[in-house]
Amino acid sequence: MRPTATRPTGHGTTSRPWTRLCSAAPITAALTAALLAATPLAAATSAHAAAPARTSTTQGRDPRLMRLIDSMTLRQKAAQLFVVQIYGMSADTTDPADVAANRALYGVDNAAQLIARDQPGGIIYYGNNVTSPQQLAAFSNGIQRAARGAGHGVPATIAIDQEGGIVARVGAPATQQPGAMALAAGRRPADARALARITGTELRAIGVDTDYAPDSDVNVNPANPVIGVRSFGSDPALVARMVTAQLGGYRSANLTATAKHFPGHGDADTDSHTGVPVIRHTRAQWESTDLPPFKAAIAAGADSIMTGHLVVPALDPSGDPATLSHPIVTGILRDQLHYRGLVITDALDMQGVRDKYGDDRIPVLALKAGVDVLLKPPAGQFATQLDAVVNAVRDGELSQDRIDQSVYRVLDLKQRRGLFRAPYVDESRVGAVVGTPGHLATARRATDRTTTLVKNDPQPGGGTLPLTPGPRSVYVTGWGTSTTATLATEIGKYGTTAAAHDTGLSPGPAAIAAAAAAARDHDLTVVVTNRAWDTSTADGHNGPGQADLVKALIATGRPVVVLAVRDAYDINAFPDAPAYLATYSYTPDALRAAAATLFGANRPQGRLPVAIPAAGNPGQTLYPFGYGLDYPRK
């Protein structure tokens, strides 16, 4: 940020006829010429018709792209290697807060001014850029108009993190995937592929051509602070199957997907946003655990792979993070795995890549390592990093050929996405593509298959699952104001009276006592947890409050059902809970499916994509990989 496996085609040094890139159907030479006439490629072809032949290292590449590269200045080439963030909800925003933020970052008011001045290769959207799919389509068209009018007129890559589940920048009415680990719980690659195709189709409709998904990490560390449910699980083979399926789905929508975070972020115990994770796998462990999903992604023709800001001593003992490691990016990814697609960094404002070197050295070292694209420079550092790349070429630290290699990969991917031919989207068609009834129904069906019932001990008072629909008083408490309210609404559809009360991420003794008192006045309590296993009292952790809340509710003697809406590991903090389900996300669809499962309207079909260890004893397994209960069939 994530089909049948085939050999990679069209990556890096593999040429394609221009007619295949302009249209899925054959087109005439006259039409080809007409299409070319309106693109930067046409101008480059005309201006450099007599350009000398390239060296053997460029053989097999599209000559139009090579001539376009020849027409660019060194600074324009270097700028093509950056994907930057921007504030605002339109390319020409005049909103005072957004203008102030952009001036602090770049010294310009908005995206249009930044593109006119610096011509960066791409823009990444975040949640603060989005109000609706319609608005985002207009924003994307504004970016492409600015790019077309700037310098060489190369269209912009427009990217986003739309993994699904807990990482989704575009919310409803766009179709929401349940997230990687939820899909893995459903064990259906066909669902993963279908939802990737839907996500890709909807993103293309709003002008986004690149999704930094699927997450391809194997989450073998239950305490991983940054990956967790973003991963498809702890089994390399399962993760590889689901990654391959999603790549196929995205490709069928003509969207660039990105397998991340190479060489594998799944055993991290440090968040690379705030520190430097060290992965202590041996080479053999890495090859058996972390490598298979990336190897499968390459075999499936992944267009893009993102590096992780993590140190892997078994792969490179220098202490450099993978993003800056020539032995990892070039030695392993390029030379040993024969990957020829685009390599992009994780965001360069993350501490995991900034701990050892200054911001001016990081982009140069990344390019020397073999990276192609530099994502999201630190605040106020874009000009510094762009200058650093330009100066590194002028000083001989980076060769012109090295820059041209990466620029070619960037332009080739834009060409294969059709951005030179058709950079704009039809804003009037957004509503006919995004969040259609068919798309939403597919997402609902897939989500229904993900809910996992881990424990279902007999409880008094009709509290054993599945519950009988009809009059009863249900108290919905625990984490999340909108989560508890949405769940209460869904539970109310089964003839109950449901009251919601959010106790927060780290409830204190007073909040716990109040919730327990309220529970005594209801027939049943459903308590929502979010990373309740994280009981550490250190800064940045949740603390024991959620676990204490669950234990206090159990002590009331009333029936209790625990619903873990993120990590499935929560039950190790309260193993005596009588009933426990995992949803792996808190999307409205996940909560709807959970409520349906509570009342037997949906069978609990999910199976754990990870093993749940005992608290404080990782060697002891409470519930194994693949575990999951079902209801007796009637």
For the chain, residues classed under CATH 3.20.20.300 are: 64-432
pLDDT for the residue numbered 541: 92
According to DSSP, the β-strands at 579-582 and 524-529 are unpaired
pLDDT for the residue numbered 352: 94
pLDDT for the residue numbered 463: 84
Q: Which residues pair with 581 in a beta bridge?
A: 453, 563
For the chain, residues classed under CATH 3.40.50.1700 are: 451-623
Of the candidates 105, 144, 139, 142, which has an alpha carbon nearest to the alpha carbon of residue 125? 139
Collect all residues with Cβ–Cβ distance below 8 Å to 588 and sequence separation of at least 6: 172, 176, 486
Q: What is the 3-state secondary structure (H, E, C) of 337-394?
A: CCCCCEEECCCCCCHHHHCCCCCCCHHHHHHHHCCCEEECCCCCCHHHHHHHHHHHHH
Helix crossing, 111-118 with 133-148: angle to 10°? 30
Of the candidates 231, 237, 239, 250, which has an alpha carbon nearest to the alpha carbon of residue 193? 250
Catalytic annotation present for 273: yes
Collect all residues with Cβ–Cβ distance below 8 Å to 181 and sequence separation of at least 6: 165, 219, 228, 229, 230, 231, 232, 233, 568, 584, 609, 610
Q: What is the CA radius of gyration of the chain?
A: 26
Give pTM, 2 decimals: 0.90
pLDDT for the residue numbered 20: 28
3-state secondary structure at position 2: coil
> H-helix or E-strand containing 86?
none
Q: In the chain, which stretches have pLDDT less than 70?
A: 1-59
Collect all residues with Cβ–Cβ distance below 8 Å to 284 and sequence separation of at least 6: none
92 secondary structure, DSSP code = T
Collect all residues with Cβ–Cβ distance below 8 Å to 209 and sequence separation of at least 6: 157, 158, 159, 203, 255, 256, 414, 417, 419
* C-alpha to C-alpha distance for 597 and 584, rounded to whole angstroms: 14
CA 599, chain centre distance (Å): 32
3-state secondary structure at position 181: helix
Catalytic annotation present for 161: no
* C-alpha to C-alpha distance for 3 and 374, rounded to whole angstroms: 29
94 exposure class (CB count in 10 Å sphere: 0-12, 13-18, 19+): exposed
pLDDT for the residue numbered 600: 97
* C-alpha to C-alpha distance for 51 and 231, rounded to whole angstroms: 48
pLDDT for the residue numbered 621: 97
pLDDT for the residue numbered 2: 34
Catalytic option among 70, 92, 269, 273: 273
Catalytic option among 346, 372, 404, 523: 346
Collect all residues with Cβ–Cβ distance below 8 Å to 480 and sequence separation of at least 6: 502, 528, 530, 565, 586
Superfamily of domain 64-432: Glycoside hydrolase, family 3, N-terminal domain (3.20.20.300)
* C-alpha to C-alpha distance for 210 and 204, rounded to whole angstroms: 9
Is 3.40.50.1700 the CATH number for 451-623? yes
Of the candidates 246, 183, 207, which has an alpha carbon nearest to the alpha carbon of residue 433? 207
